[in-house]
Amino acid sequence: MTTAAGELTAELRGFRKVQRLAYECAEAVAAQLKPGVTEREAARMQRTWLRERGVRDWFHLPFAWFGDRTAFVNFRVPLQFFPTDRPLEPGMPFILDMAPLYEGCTADIGYSGSLGVNPVQNRLMDDLEAHRELILREVRERRPLREIYEDVDRLMARQGYANRHRAYPFGVIAHKVDRVPERRWSPHVFGFGTRSLKGLAADALHGHREGWSPLWSPYRFSDHPPQPGLWAVEPHLGFRGTGAKFEEILVVTDSADPEQSAFWLDDDLPHVRRWAEDK
Amino acid sequence: MTLPAGVRERRVRTGGVELCVAELGDPSGPTVVLVHGYPDSKEVWSEVASRLADHFHVVLYDVRGHGRSTAPRPLRGGFTLEKLTDDFLAVADAVSPDRPVHLVGHDWGSVQAWEFTTVRRTEGRIASFTSMSGPSLDHFGHWINKRVRRPTPRRVGQLLGQGAKSWYVYLLQTPVLPELAWRGPLGTYWPRILERLEKVPGGGYPTSSLPTDAAHGVWLYRDNVRTRLRRPRTDAYAHAPVQLITPLGDAFLSENLFDDLEHWVPQLARRTIPARHWVPRSRPDQLAAWISQFVTSVEGGRPDAVKATGKYADRFGGQLVLVTGAGSGIGRATAFAFAEAGARVVAVDRDAEAAVRTAELSRLLGAPEAWAETVDVSDEQAMEKLAEKVAAEYGVVDVLVNNAGIGLSGSFFDTAPKDWKKVLDINLWGVIHGCRLFGKQMADRAQGGHIVNTASAAAYQPSKALPAYSTSKAAVLMLSECLRAELAGQGIGVTAVCPGFVNTNITSTARFAGVDAAEEKRLQKRTARLYGLRNYPPEKVADAILRAVARNEAVVPVTPEARGAHLMSRFTPRVLRAIARLEPPL
């Protein structure tokens, strides 16, 4: 999928473009957050920002979580993921999560931060780096996804954190994203774009016949080696009322060269830059 | 006299009386003024004062008519709060003319100090106030009025409860009799009554002036209580930060008295302590630590420096908590929960890296200090060394959590003697060593404390798959119960926690007797997955542990299945025996 010089194909460039756009949006919205802004307002800010730049459809509508909702404390039903009227306070952690579609390509990103200094959130962000490295390494080794999931779990436990991606539907740490045809009418149900859901459902059916799944979960249906394609990977750490995650696209190919068999779509993202600066 | 050596005394004349003022410590440091209660003299503070003298300029004085201060003539009308405020200002001007002082009051000392802190003319003379066992009479008056005017069942209950606890106040209003009693038999028997009922250790307290102090001090009640409660001031707002220390076992004051305090005090820090009324005698270490911390934070310009946010921050703030097996699972979650409550944490684990990690994150969560220690709890010498080191470097442990443990599954005949030895060494002997060494330090200090032992639901739920593990945990449960009985008289609580199936890494380190390595690996994986499906988080066990310590509970089953089995073990043990025969789904 990449050329010898490491250049991305046109298709991957499209995905990278929308992923960068989404992260730009997250940074722009995060910069505007101030005490008193509610989750709903933060979600609307993301939506408006992206719509102004040509986004018409979504894999899912933007989410925003503040305070202990970043760690999904006491989440029991999926409706609790939707933004609430909780206002942001100084020192509070927050997560912005959005999945825009742009020119037929999907991005699904997660951006964690805090309003002012929050040492715990800071620490969680630092510790996410090990997870990004672990996932890439084990995908390159072609380990079954379920086992990689368990290794991520073990690393979290060793770090002293709880696995919060477990709270997502099906407990997924990642899911496949794909091209989605652009249509004039693009409805969404429960915050998810129907066209993307249709793609995911088609993948699920397809995978079911071949023994793989577009959802990377702790369950038996994920007991297969990484399936080529684009995976939006979102390890989510929780630590007593504070949560942090990143989410970005991992490209998996069927290349025999380990370097080419799996790689992160983009290494120029806020959290990666942050780790590079700390070194 | 029990005041420590190096005490400097002076006499301060004010409003027709002469006050005896004692000073300790470096006069250039922040000044802490300790005010005693009834029936006491400044010597009630001797233990606390000597602990504070290393860091502060400590000042104690005998309230007029008490100890070596002279009494006003006539006594009636000589003990009004206005006159006591004059006394305080005279003392403050004499010992610290140009800097405000930090007030600490106990019992009537606190009642007076509330007056000092809420009247305008002392503004700028008080930097902070630590109150224990003595409400403001004005706040008290409003508290009663609120409950009388709008009586709900709860409010009536609170009113009656406090009314019953105030029995002695009514007696003290009768003329002459209280004086006769104090100068007669009550004065003789008082020290014994204190020791028996209030668990106040002896040692030069109370002093020989007790009968006169108590007889004079009666006028504190007669001059102030009725007038203030009938017409409480409406402007009794504190103009300095206040730290409120509430002894939970106080026979004379109910906790509810301080429910509305936030209304009167803009900067309020709350502390609770499981002790009876005379905390300056029975818990000097804890008081000195809290006073030092509060005074230091106010001096540093941060009166609300208590940054701990946990639910029990008032109870565990600044206490020393040692957790074994703190490198993972329930131990780690417990260390974090105590850290969140502002406790100082010692994280003990045989995995050095994991212990360091726990200590690091504990500091992030709000522990003022946290240390990691690498020790195998089954190693007697190592534990002895640890106990010595902790006592020397960090202090006496206030809460000990003996949590380290391992799992072992397999039929009785597959369990080799060396497997038995290993399980008993860690699960039982680890607990014994912990209780023996750290419990001894607690008992010797004689200022209370708490021990938590992690047992298991397997302690009362038999199973053919876990004979060794269940035996070790049943022993821990019984050890805890026996120790609880032995230490009850010394104010040290013992709790056995029985968690049940909790999602921790005990499953992946558990041994399975009688199978080869590959099969053991498979079984570990399989149990880990089952526990993962059950997914009961260790954080909830940690919360249960903190609650159990706060309420001093004896046996605490945590998960629903552990509670169910606990009930069944009492009422339908046959069902448990039937369950014990089932093959685990592995």
User: Mutation test of the interface with chain A: which of B361, B362, B526, choosing the one with the most A Cβ atoms within 10 A?
Assistant: B361
Contacts of B361 in chain A (CB under 8 A): 123, 160, 239
* Chain A residues with at least one Cβ partner in B under 8 Å: 119-120, 123, 154, 157-160, 162, 166, 218, 239-240
| Mean pLDDT computed over every residue of chain A | 91
**DSSP assignment of B342-378:** T-EEEEEESSHHHHHHHHHHHHHHT-S-EEEEE--TT
3-state secondary structure of A188: strand
What single DSSP character describes residue B280? H
pLDDT score, position B3: 76
pLDDT in tens, chain B (586 residues): 467 778 899 999 998 899 999 999 999 999 999 999 999 999 999 999 999 999 999 999 999 999 999 999 899 999 999 999 999 999 999 999 999 999 999 999 999 999 999 999 999 999 999 999 999 999 999 999 999 999 999 999 999 999 999 999 999 999 999 999 999 999 999 999 998 888 888 777 888 899 999 999 999 999 999 999 999 999 999 999 999 999 999 999 999 999 989 999 999 999 999 999 999 999 999 999 999 999 999 998 765 544 667 789 999 999 999 999 999 999 999 999 999 999 999 999 999 999 999 999 999 999 999 999 999 999 999 999 999 999 999 999 999 999 999 999 999 999 999 999 999 999 999 999 999 999 999 999 999 999 999 999 999 999 999 999 999 999 999 999 999 999 998 999 999 999 999 988 888 888 998 899 999 999 998 898 888 888 899 999 999 999 999 999 999 999 999 999 999 999 999 999 999 999 888 7
B532 close to A (CB below 8 A): yes
- List all residues 6 or more positions away from B301 whose beta carbon is below 8 Å from its beta carbon: none
Distance, CA of B13 to CA of B300 (rounded, Å): 33
Among all residues of chain A, which has the CA nearest to that of B543? Answer: A240
Q: Which of B361, B508, B537 sits opposite A160 (nearest CB)?
A: B361
Give the bridge partners for A243, in sequence order: A238
Q: Name the residue with tokens 């629903």.
A: B560
Asked if the model's pLDDT at residue A27 lies above 60, the reply is yes
Q: What pLDDT, on the 0 to 100 scale, is given for residue B48?
A: 95
Fold of B8-299: Rossmann fold (3.40.50)
Antiparallel, parallel or unpaired: β A248-252 and A262-264:
antiparallel
> Distance (Å) from the C-alpha of residue B389 to the closest C-alpha of chain A?
26
Q: Shortest CA distance to A97 belongs to which of A65, A54, A58? A: A65
d(CA A260, CA A252) in angstroms, rounded, equals: 8
pLDDT at A189: 84
Provide the ipTM.
Answer: 0.89
How confident is the model at residue B200, as a pLDDT?
87
Q: By the CB < 8 Å criterion, does B304 face chain A?
A: no
For residue A67, list chain B residues with Cβ-Cβ distance below 8 A: none
Q: Is residue A4 part of a domain?
A: no
The alpha carbon of residue B297 and the mean position of all alpha carbons in its chain are separated, in whole angstroms, by 20
Q: Which of B340, B361, B505 sits opposite A157 (nearest CB)?
A: B505
Cα distances (angstroms) measured from residue B430 to each of A161, B348, B436, B461, B513: 26, 12, 10, 22, 21
Question: Among A161, A240, A242, which would you mutate to test the B interface (most chain B Cβ atoms within 10 Å of its Cβ)?
Answer: A240
**A240/B340 touch (CB, cutoff 8 Å), yes or no:** yes
pLDDT band at A5 (very low <50, low <70, confident <90, very high): very low
Q: Is B340 on the interface with A (CB under 8 A)?
A: yes
Q: How far is B355 from chain A (nearest CA, A)?
A: 10
Return the exposure string of A78-94: e unless at least 16 CB atoms fall within 10 Å of the residue's CB, then b: eeebebeebebeeebbb
B99 CB-near residues (< 8 Å, 6+ apart): B30, B31, B127
- B316: nearest Cα among B328, B325, B306: B306
E-only strand ranges, B116-177: 126-132
Which residues of chain A are within 8 Å of residue B364 when distances are taken between CB atoms?
119-120, 123
CB contact under 8 A, A158 and B354: yes
Boundaries of domain holding A133 = 10-278
pLDDT in tens, A142-192: 999 999 999 999 999 999 999 999 888 888 999 999 888 888 787 888 888
Residue A1 falls inside a structural domain: no
Q: Which of A119, A120, A160 sits opposite B358 (nearest CB)?
A: A160
Catalytic residue set of B: 469
Give me the residue from A157, A162, A166 closest to B328, CB to CB: A157
Distance, in angstroms, between A57 CA and closest chain B CA?
Answer: 36
pLDDT of residue B1: 46
CB contact under 8 A, B365 and A240: yes
Do residues A113 and A32 lie in contact, with contact meaning Cβ atoms separated by under 8 Å? no
pLDDT surpassing 70 at residue A1: no
Please report the sign of the dihedral spanned by the C-alpha atoms of residue B95, residue B97, residue B103, residue B105: positive
- List chain B residues with CB under 8 Å of A240: 336, 340, 365, 539
Beta strands in chain A (DSSP E): 57-66, 93-102, 105-106, 109-114, 162-163, 174-177, 188-189, 192-193, 215-216, 229-233, 236-239, 242-245, 248-252, 262-264
Interchain CB contact of B396 with A (< 8 Å): no
Instruction: Give the CATH number, domain containing residue A214.
Output: 3.90.230.10
What three-state secondary structure class fits B168? helix
Place A4 in a pLDDT band, splitting at 50, 70 and 90: very low
Cα nearest neighbour of A146 on chain B: B529
Question: Testing the interface with A: which of B364, B521, B525, B535 to mutate, by most A Cβ within 10 A?
Answer: B364
Q: Which of residues 347-366 of B touch A (CB under 8 A)?
A: 354, 357-358, 361, 364-365
Report yes or no: B344 at the A interface, CB cutoff 8 Å: no
* Residue A56 within a domain: yes
Does any domain span residue A3? no
Q: Which residue type is seen at B391? A: A
- Inter-chain contact B539–A240, Cβ cutoff 8 Å? yes
- Chain A residues in contact with B532 (beta carbon < 8 A): 218
Q: Say whether residue B537 is in contact with chain A using an 8 A CB cutoff.
A: yes
Give the chain B residue whose CA is nearest to the CA of A157: B328
Distance CA B169, CA B220 (A): 11
Q: If you measure CA to CA, which chain A residue comes closest to B359?
A: A160
**B365 contacts on A by Cβ (under 8 Å):** 120, 240
Residue A182's pLDDT is 80
For B538, nearest residue in chain A (alpha carbons)? A162
Number of domain units in chain A: 1
Which structure tokens are listed for A172?
């997924």
Residues A168 and B360: their CA atoms lie apart, in Å, by 29
Q: What residues of B are in contact with residue A157 (Cβ under 8 Å)?
A: 328, 505
Of B328, B364, B539, the CB nearest to A119: B364
Tokens (6 digits) for A46: 């993301």
* A124-A127-A131 Cα angle (round to 5): 120
If 0-12 CB within 10 Å is exposed, 13-18 middle and 19+ buried, where does residue B396 land? middle
Q: How far is A67 from chain B (nearest CA, A)?
A: 14
What was the pLDDT predicted at B2?
65
Concatenating the DSSP letter of every residue in A215-244 gives: EE-SSGGG-SPPPSEEEEE--EEEETTEEE
Of the candidates A120, A159, A166, the beta carbon closest to that of B364 is on A120
Tell me which chain B residues have a C-beta less than 8 angstroms from the C-beta of A160: 332, 336, 357-358, 361
- At B305 the pLDDT is 46
Q: pLDDT, tens digit, for every residue of A95-149?
A: 999 999 999 899 999 999 999 989 999 999 999 999 999 999 999 999 999 999 9
CA Rg value for chain B: 27
Q: What is the count of residue pairs from A and B with beta carbons less than 8 Å apart?
A: 27
Please identify, in words, the CATH class of the domain defined by B316-580. alpha beta
Q: Is A271 exposed, middle or buried (0-12, 13-18, 19+ CB in 10 A)?
A: buried
Contact A159 B357 (CB under 8 A): yes
With CA atoms as reference, report the closest residue to B140 among B158, B122, B116: B158
For residue A187, what pLDDT is reported?
84
- Closest chain A residue to B331, measured at CA: A160
A120 chain-B contacts, CB cut-off 8 A: 364-365
Q: How far is B340 from chain A (nearest CA, A)?
A: 9
Nearest CA in chain A to B326: A160
Tokens for A66? Answer: 């503040």
> Which residue among A119, A154, A160 places its CB closest to the CB of B357?
A160
Q: Where are the domains of chain B?
A: 8-299, 316-580
Amino acid of residue B567: L
- How big is the CA angle at B482 (ends B478 and B487), to the nearest 5 degrees? 145
Residue positions counted in chain B: 586
How many other β-carbons are positioned within 10 Å of the β-carbon of residue A254?
11
Query: Do B264 and B241 form a contact (C-beta atoms < 8 A)?
Result: no
> What pLDDT, on the 0 to 100 scale, is given for residue A70?
95
* Rounded Cα gap, residues B93 and B89, in angstroms: 6
User: Cα(B358)–Cα(B338) distance, rounded to whole angstroms?
Assistant: 12
**Distance, CA of B174 to CA of B358 (rounded, Å):** 60
